[in-house]
Amino acid sequence: MKSDTSQLPQGSSVKVRCCIVGGGPAGMMLGYLLGRAGIDVVVLEKHADFFRDFRGDTVHPSTLEVMDELGLIDGFLKLPHQRLEKMDGLFGGTPVRIADLSRLRTKYPFIAFMPQWDFLNFLREAGQRFASLKVMMNTEAVDLIRRGETIAGVRANTPDGIVDIEADLTIACDGRHSTVRLRSGLEVEEIGAPMDVLWFRVGRKANETENVFARVEPGKMMITFDRGDYWQCAYVIAKGQYDAVKARGIAGAAR
Ligand SMILES: Cc1cc2nc3c(=O)[nH]c(=O)nc-3n(C[C@H](O)[C@H](O)[C@H](O)COP(=O)(O)OP(=O)(O)OC[C@H]3O[C@@H](n4cnc5c(N)ncnc54)[C@H](O)[C@@H]3O)c2cc1C
């Protein structure tokens, strides 16, 4: 798997069977699966690496089973991670066990906490053994190539200039502000999420033993993940209330 564009004839086009736009969890996993099946596939990722602001790091039992089925689990679980088996909540001050994953009939009855970029780097490295899979970093799809009514690939901006990537199948995995979706004229159907989540870190003292996953009171909810030396906090607010909460400050909003 190559991650540079130096092998590409600049200003011209390359042809692949499948072009996946976006190297997030969807694109990298699909690229891995197609590469594993021997299909000529390229994944385009506009950033130079997978490092992003926090965007989630819970890897759930079902995903762990998939990693197992792919023969990747041993290497994956060697990466630094924390395991969560039980989740406790405080509902208006009443302690409640919300979930006990250790009771699941699954091979991996826990949630693994691992930064998403570690997960994606792992997939990228694991895919390097498939000659038919290429991951092109620093490569942004900027437009679609059309042949009549058919999408025939993408035009991409690479560090070395514009390259046309012709493909029998083009797949949009470029996230919530998808360029491919926009250019293909697909409309977004708003389903009206009622809430937003503010994510932040709070320092954790070494002697803290209480580990409450969720604190819920009428109109308020806070999730906390134990990340060793800090708490990863998710404070749920009503949709559209960000500016008001920001003006009051988290401490004021949580009162
Ligand atoms: C704050 C937060 C917390 C979350 N917590 C969790 C969690 O704990 N567990 C969990 O399972 N999920 C969590 N999620 C959800 C999870 O992050 C998303 O479901 C997942 O990232 C979606 O994957 P994706 O591959 O579809 O899109 P994305 O992750 O958005 O990836 C899209 C990729 O496409 C690239 N891209 C965009 N446009 C182009 C272009 N034109 N050309 C080339 N590349 C492009 C982007 O750089 C990006 O790398 C969280 C999300 C957020 C925001």
Bridge partners of 44, per DSSP, are: 21, 136
Residue 170 exposure: Cα atoms within 13 Å on the Cβ side:
26
Mutate to test the pocket of ligand 1, among 32, 44, 45 (most ligand atoms within 8 A of CB): 45
Q: Using CA positions, which residue lies closest to atom 30 of ligand 1?
A: 175
Residue 119 Cα, ligand 1 centroid: separation in angstroms? 12
Give residue 1's pLDDT: 42
Q: Using CA positions, which residue lies closest to atom 41 of ligand 1?
A: 141
Give residue 29's pLDDT: 98
Rounded-to-integer distance, Cα 221 and Cα 215, Å: 6
Residue 70 Cα, ligand 1 centroid: separation in angstroms? 22
Nearest by Cα to 144 from 135, 134, 136, 155: 155
Residue 35 Cα, ligand 1 centroid: separation in angstroms? 21
Tell whether pTM > 0.85.
Answer: yes
Residue 154 exposure: Cα atoms within 13 Å on the Cβ side:
29
Give residue 125's pLDDT: 98
Give residue 10's pLDDT: 52
Residue 68 Cα, ligand 1 centroid: separation in angstroms? 22
Where in the chain are the domains? 13-53+118-184, 58-114, 195-254
Task: Report which residue type is found at 28.
Answer: M
The reply to whether ligand 1 has any atom less than 6 angstroms from the CB of 56 is: yes
Give residue 235's pLDDT: 93
The reply to whether ligand 1 has any atom less than 6 angstroms from the CB of 46 is: yes
The reply to whether ligand 1 has any atom less than 6 angstroms from the CB of 55 is: yes
Query: Do residues 170 and 177 lie in contact, with contact meaning Cβ atoms separated by under 8 Å?
Result: no
Per this entry, what is the length of the chain? 255
Residue 170 Cα, ligand 1 centroid: separation in angstroms? 18
Q: Using CA positions, which residue lies closest to atom 2 of ligand 1?
A: 55
Fold annotation for 13-53+118-184: FAD/NAD(P)-binding domain (3.50.50)
Residue 162 C-alpha from the chain's centroid: 27
Give residue 3's pLDDT: 40
The reply to whether ligand 1 has any atom less than 6 angstroms from the CB of 175 is: yes
Mean pLDDT by runs of 10 across the 255 residues of the chain is 46 90 97 98 97 80 97 97 92 93 95 92 97 97 96 96 96 95 92 89 84 88 86 90 88 66
Query: Do residues 110 and 59 lie in contact, with contact meaning Cβ atoms separated by under 8 Å?
Result: no
The reply to whether ligand 1 has any atom less than 6 angstroms from the CB of 21 is: yes
Q: Using CA positions, which residue lies closest to atom 7 of ligand 1?
A: 56
Give residue 255's pLDDT: 60
Q: For 126-195, give the DSSP string.
A: HGGG-TTEEEETT-EEEEEEEETTEEEEEEEEETTEEEEEEEEEEEE---TT-HHHHHHTPPP------E
Residue 245 Cα, ligand 1 centroid: separation in angstroms? 25
The reply to whether ligand 1 has any atom less than 6 angstroms from the CB of 199 is: yes
Burial 211-242 (b: 16+ CB within 10 A, else e): eebbbbeeeebbbbbbeeeebbbbbbbeeeee
